[in-house]
């Protein structure tokens, strides 16, 4: 019996490992510093409210959302959502996460160009994420090079989205840490610990980019293999 072994699958395994390591690291780091409270005794929600008001942003609501580290800012709704583990917490980890999301609200308010670029890429990236593999597989089975190339082009949008995401996330963290330091919300080791949490979170986006690049490489290798037959 002949068994077919797809050597490109190793790229999937590497990507999965990168994602798993980054996810474990951010959860581990957050949990570690979630046991360290801030000297002022303020909650993450209170800090977020203070940061937004000091930035002159009065039209953004702060809401609680279920889950663990599901925090995000929705520019369309102008809502900053803090997860159950962050919202009412006084830990330096939670305050760092809340300040980071405020960084996104400030980016949107100030017209930060990279966040506009990312927003513009999202629709195409969503299409690429859902259609690239079906088109690729159909092209492989039918021997249609055009479909395979279209699948590669569509998935390239996913990679572009991940590339565009990095400056947005890194900038939001820089803004957050600068605000926390300048306003003396966190001082000394508190600020250092919060920075470690945000750095770990940033690595999840780096891992996502590397995983997307590996997937794109796999698509290209599969297409080239089919063309050589």
Residues with catalytic annotation? 101
Q: Go through the chain and tell me how many residues it has.
A: 229
The CA distance from 17 to 49, in Å, is 37
Radius of gyration of the chain (CA): 21
């Amino acid at each position: 019996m002949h068994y077919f072994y797809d050597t490109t699958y190793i790229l999937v395994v590497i990507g999965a490992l990168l994602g798993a390591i980054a996810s474990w690291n951010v959860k581990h780091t957050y949990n570690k510093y979630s046991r360290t409270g801030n000297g002022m005794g303020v909650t993450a929600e209170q800090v977020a409210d203070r940061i937004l008001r000091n930035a002159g942003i009065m039209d953004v609501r702060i809401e609680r959302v279920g889950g663990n580290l599901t925090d995000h800012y929705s520019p369309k709704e102008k809502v900053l959502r803090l997860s159950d583990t962050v919202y009412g917490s006084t830990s330096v980890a939670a305050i760092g996460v809340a300040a980071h999301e405020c960084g996104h609200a400030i980016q949107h308010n100030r017209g930060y160009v990279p966040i506009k670029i990312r927003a513009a890429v999202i629709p195409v990236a969503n299409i690429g994420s859902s259609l690239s593999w079906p088109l690729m597989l159909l092209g492989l089975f039918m021997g249609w090079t055009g479909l395979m190339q279209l699948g590669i082009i569509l998935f390239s949008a996913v990679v572009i989205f991940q590339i565009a995401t990095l400056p947005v996330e890194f900038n939001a963290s820089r803004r957050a840490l600068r605000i926390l330091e300048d306003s003396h919300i966190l001082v000394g080791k508190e600020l250092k610990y919060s920075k470690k949490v945000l750095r770990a979170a940033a690595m999840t986006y780096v891992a996502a980019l590397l995983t997307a690049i590996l997937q794109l490489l796999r698509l290209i290798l599969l297409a080239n293999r089919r063309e050589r037959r």
